[in-house]
Structure 1
């Protein structure tokens, strides 16, 4: 197996050599601080003396002729100072003759030919001690076999952006306690929730875990929308691991948790916890995790979620981990000698890694954009420090000073869409913006060049997406290109940036090609109000609770008319979002246009501005389409329809029509009552709409509550006789208890289902006891064994200083 040692830093290589020799000699060795005692990188210290001294020279891809001068300089430096056994390890390629020459060069020390290790010898040791490579994730993932496995896997076909991101970022990987802790959680409980602030490394850790599991023949699946993505690909008894990134949304709790999503989420986590062939990794921002405890009581009451045993909080990095993160970014960014000197001089790196605003995402932004900043190389330390002091200034400087106009338009389009876009749609968005602003249209070649320049730091591009929109020339048999923002924090920056640049808001609204772009402007314009209003509607309709959501910066006032004009203009525009569809196999299709969602956004914004933006024909059209949806035979989204009706009820001229619409939807829902969810949905028109009660609605609500009392008892008995597994019984019990709570029939009790659940749990416990006696359990993903703490001898040293010392060696 070919390994790529060029993806290792000098520090990584030194740690690898130490671990290999420890395994080979079955002893514990120590890493020696740089600069303390020239010629020593690793040593075996026993009985007060050094038994073995090892010097490491990281020169990947080089030959003996290319490193000879460096070795001769090192030999003159150490002279004959050491009498212990001396070893030399290098990542350069060496022949037997080369080793003989090296032994003569180091004639002043006890260096034998067999103690000179070239890259072939390192490969041989890794073959002899595979556990070292397994534990050294960074080397393991850089091997050609693993990369080939990643790039040819089914995961790459389904989620090429994720795989490309993992491959690209492999050099920057830093081993931390969180990796081992998360694997322990997955081994013990099968579920791990990774929480933390934006940019702290949640997704990186999750992706690292996915690669490790994939190498152990687990099928990796990514949930992009909701829990149904997991349920759709579930295969009993097959080893599957699921990633649900930002499962509570990126900017608010609106993004993912739709009707009954909290209940389904609890059910799927508990189902996975009881299935040894399944694993689930979820990530979320810390403040959203805290808010969800107020909004979704079902999540909070889960015996599995929100407990320390499955929640891993990446609250902070240790000082050494921060140093390794900064070191890797600096080393692999190829910043130049003067930039490195500015970091090493006076130990300036300490100011960076000890800065209160230290964040891996910000460090990546600093190092990847420095060479285009125009700042002299010798001022890199000052540039990095100023960026940490004021992160927004760095974003703004890059956005305004380092990007061309077309590059800024590309990023503004992606930021306002907030989802990866097919490049044809992206270029259409740019063309619409340029047309509205009166600027010269950029040809396709120029757009492609701009996209290529942005790729990496700002944009991820995947070129093998399977999309199906044949009416517009997109065929699933041809690979499509999609582009998305590489750095989610850029969206946060744009929302903040627009709050102080009102002219940009007007330009984006007038130049928007897709409704989703203007919807994002509404989200930002309303700040917390947008989240609050929609959350209140969803929570009141489905969960009976209210929420608090961290507000985003609001846009500058005075732009509401141009934004509403854009909403009306794009009311019927095709969506630029792509979703999976069971009818189209692996290909994704355009998300169907939801006139309901669009009307809800329009009325919510108008309600905020005291109903001064919508009137006349646009308002009448909304009511006409609402009535048509209610009377049609197709399925309807009751919760959001109720919110729209509530919004329309605030218009005096609409009240009578709204009452009729409310009664029509209630009558329709009462015609089909065969499950707890049907009854919950039918109750909504009576309890969640601000329309005036009618004579019919008053009598109908009484009838509905009476029918539920009869239904609940019968359904409890029927389900208790139907279910035969613990998960199925738990699901049925949860469904019925949820409906009982909504109807406030606290005298009811799902007695039969509770008794059935107890019986099934007893049967499972007996089966497990029997299996424990006869068959050992197989642990598909046992966490790696922890290495004992490293002992050091002699003078105490700072590992951070040791680490950065290698930059100047």
Structure 2
């Protein structure tokens, strides 16, 4: 008999409805539990109404099933159907059928209207087309048969077997699965690409399970493509799975010399045959880079078109994933009732929704017994560090912890090389040698839990915390460990590491999800202030270091490019002023750094926007008047002599606004500049609103009128993206699940 335990009650009911519809050749309607007097299924024959009730009691006792059946009698007395069928996944004996029939004999023609597990199994055999529409059931059943017949393969792939069997009951079949099946059926090769955590591996395993159930032997490729060539046989149906085939961080980590050719040769061989299948997964950004580097991959994808890209889960997918986890888990009736009356909304609508967290909060390590379950669930989504604490303390080596912690001091998307340098320095100050060689291993251990590996704006490999709450967790560790804080300060290789950790404590850091509480910030700031002298020494030591931050900068000769912030030294001095103010120190302590920046201005070097901001602080500080005068004249000369772009004029106007304004010579120059800009740009120059403000300040009325005309012309131009955006919204709304449907789905959890 087929194994119905892989299905939830909703999935079993969907299967039953399809089977009855095929058997009776009628349309069988489905209703949510309690939506229509307890009806699960309804159909009409010759104008008469028949109803059916589904009880997915595969893991319960017969006494529990019989007690539940007794509760249906009052509903039938009220509904008075022409006929009634009672369907259950429980494997009923003839005597047990008679006991149930005694309850419903007034609405049944015989005990044959009661379908037990074996009866449902027999119907599935009769209606193969129905079975194919419910892949979880037939795939899982086929798997069990394959493992039983091929014990040698089951033993060889025991880890894979365990992962598939553990995850399949909670798996939600979505549109991507059907798309992948079609690609694999027609091309024999399916390349699944997408961002981390989207479900690439799970989908690949589902495809693998399906083909195993059809008699394909699984071959797991773990290192390089040569494993597939060595396992390839001529007379056997095989399915190969190659997870992260281009590497976990960057494609060059996985692709050995000539491996692209061997991979392409294998793909061409499999795609042209009939007894082999190949499933590959990779991250989208790695695939994009690999295509640029390996022409064979790009050409092959274009010719075979086997790529499948996964998108984020829909709201309906989120709901079904949550429901399946709840249904297949041992959760108290109290907790389920709280979820059913609206608690589910806190979870499926949460921006921190993650299948891994869903798994944890429905598992034995979580409190799934006492009241307040939705609130605990939401709190975990808000603060995933409650999960990470145990893993951080018990399962990570010290060098792994240090990598997670040092990320707090770097940009949100830290460049791989910058992270490595900061990490090695911290390990060295912590007495850990050979950290450079252990760096890659640490990344692999932490990826998917504490960190996420992706791409920064430059398209280069970057590392970030998996969730803003990881940052919060790490900051709490740093603030509670004064020795660790000292090591971070002493080991800093970038000035911005120090300013970042200070800003975290001062409350200036921004979190996109989760938020460091005010009390926590004050504790961290207090810990930092206690190390004031050490921090100031490290700040001076790293003042001229390169910056781990990058920003897009327009260069006339090269266009847009990413580089260190032009105003990094201005920002650093500004930060020093903030520290001195916080510590009540005199500004004369940073005269050397201020003089360094002024000397750069004299050479027309720096960031103009940051320079204007810094000048205001210099002039209002307790620094010697000579420094303020030098700063003013150096910046005035620099800004006045480099009025080439729109931004140059914006910064010069800002500078002049508190120093007497722009003179007549500047007005003539600006007038000529704008005339050239109107000639150069089509339809009009950028930043017209700001240019209008400058023209008004200079009294250039004719230019103001010209800018107004250009602004009016811009506002009258049609929005080319309007129709495209609207149609996109319509497409997404078609698949949106209604609030009523969600309420009905989760309402099942509180019914018998």
TM-score band, normalised by shorter chain: 0.5 to 0.7
CA offset at residue 342 of structure 1?
2.2
CA contact (8 A) 1:416 1:521 kept: no
CA offset at residue 87 of structure 1?
0.6
CA offset at residue 79 of structure 1?
1.7
After superposition, what is the alpha-carbon deviation per residue over 1:516-565, rounded to whole angstroms, capped at 9, x for unaligned? 6344459999xx9x999xxxxxxxxxxxxxx932311499675599xxxx
Partner of 2:355: 360
Pick one of 386, 392, 408 that aligns with 2:395: 408
Question: Higher relative contact order by CA 8 Å / sep ≥ 6: 1 or 2?
Answer: 1
Pick one of 427, 435, 443 that aligns with 1:506: 427
After superposition, what is the alpha-carbon deviation per residue over 1:57-114, rounded to whole angstroms, capped at 9, x for unaligned? 1211445433222221221233241332211111234333433332332355346421
CA contact (8 A) 1:151 1:163 kept: no
Partner of 1:17: 16
Pick one of 263, 288, 294 that aligns with 2:261: 263
CA contact (8 A) 1:417 1:520 kept: no
Determine helix, strand or coil for the equivalent of 1:552.
strand
After superposition, what is the alpha-carbon deviation per residue over 1:112-150, rounded to whole angstroms, capped at 9, x for unaligned? 421111223223323333454454333234448726617
CA offset at residue 322 of structure 1?
2.1
Determine helix, strand or coil for the equivalent of 1:79.
helix
Question: Which deviates the most, 119-128 or 510-519?
Answer: 510-519
Counterpart Cα distance in 2 of 1:20 and 1:807: 24
CA contact (8 A) 1:523 1:531 kept: no
Unaligned runs of 5+ in 1: 419-491, 533-546, 562-608, 611-795
Counterpart Cα distance in 1 of 2:173 and 2:424: 46
After superposition, what is the alpha-carbon deviation per residue over 1:175-232, rounded to whole angstroms, capped at 9, x for unaligned? 2222222121112111111112222221111111112212222222122122222222
Does 1:552 pair with 2:459? no
Does 1:381 pair with 2:374? yes
Alpha carbons of 1:512 and 1:32: their partners in 2 closer, same or farther (altered >3 Å)?
farther
Partner of 1:328: 324
What is the correspondence of 1:739-778 to structure 2 with a 5 Å cutoff?
A: none
Pick one of 271, 274, 284 that aligns with 1:273: 271
Determine helix, strand or coil for the equivalent of 1:287.
helix
Counterpart Cα distance in 1 of 2:310 and 2:443: 32
Counterpart Cα distance in 2 of 1:531 and 1:14: 41
Aligned Cα root-mean-square deviation (Å): 4.3
Alpha carbons of 1:253 and 1:415: their partners in 2 closer, same or farther (altered >3 Å)?
farther
Alpha carbons of 1:522 and 1:56: their partners in 2 closer, same or farther (altered >3 Å)?
closer
After superposition, what is the alpha-carbon deviation per residue over 1:278-321, rounded to whole angstroms, capped at 9, x for unaligned? 2211111233333434444442233547x7x4111110233332
Counterpart Cα distance in 2 of 1:323 and 1:114: 36
CA offset at residue 14 of structure 1?
1.0
Partner of 2:744: 802
Counterpart Cα distance in 1 of 2:425 and 2:7: 44
Partner of 2:438: 517
Partner of 1:300: 298
Counterpart Cα distance in 1 of 2:157 and 2:462: 32
Alpha carbons of 1:350 and 1:511: their partners in 2 closer, same or farther (altered >3 Å)?
same
Alpha carbons of 1:399 and 1:75: their partners in 2 closer, same or farther (altered >3 Å)?
same
Partner of 2:36: 37
CA contact (8 A) 1:252 1:549 kept: no
Determine helix, strand or coil for the equivalent of 2:300.
coil
Partner of 2:76: 78
Alpha carbons of 1:321 and 1:519: their partners in 2 closer, same or farther (altered >3 Å)?
closer
CA contact (8 A) 2:49 2:81 kept: no
Counterpart Cα distance in 2 of 1:93 and 1:293: 54
Counterpart Cα distance in 1 of 2:188 and 2:85: 44
Alpha carbons of 1:62 and 1:549: their partners in 2 closer, same or farther (altered >3 Å)?
same
Alpha carbons of 1:213 and 1:7: their partners in 2 closer, same or farther (altered >3 Å)?
closer
Determine helix, strand or coil for the equivalent of 1:377.
coil
Counterpart Cα distance in 1 of 2:433 and 2:127: 58
Partner of 1:459: none
Unaligned runs of 5+ in 2: 405-412, 466-473, 475-487, 494-544, 547-737
Does 1:235 pair with 2:233? yes
Q: When the two structures are superposed, what TM-score results if normalisation uses the length of structure 1?
A: 0.51
After superposition, what is the alpha-carbon deviation per residue over 1:424-469, rounded to whole angstroms, capped at 9, x for unaligned? xxxxxxxxxxxxxxxxxxxxxxxxxxxxxxxxxxxxxxxxxxxxxx
What is the correspondence of 1:93-108 to structure 2 with a 5 Å cutoff?
A: 93-107=91-105
Partner of 1:340: 336
CA offset at residue 413 of structure 1?
8.2
Pick one of 297, 315, 319 that aligns with 1:319: 315
CA offset at residue 256 of structure 1?
0.8
Partner of 2:6: 7
Counterpart Cα distance in 2 of 1:522 and 1:802: 43
Counterpart Cα distance in 2 of 1:223 and 1:213: 16
CA contact (8 A) 1:156 1:163 kept: yes
Counterpart Cα distance in 2 of 1:403 and 1:318: 30
Determine helix, strand or coil for the equivalent of 2:26.
coil
What is the correspondence of 1:305-704 to structure 2 with a 5 Å cutoff?
A: 309-345=305-341, 347-368=342-363, 371=366, 377-388=370-381, 390=382, 393-394=383-384, 396-400=385-389, 402=390, 405=393, 407-409=394-396, 506=427, 510=431, 517-520=438-441, 548-553=459-464, 559=491
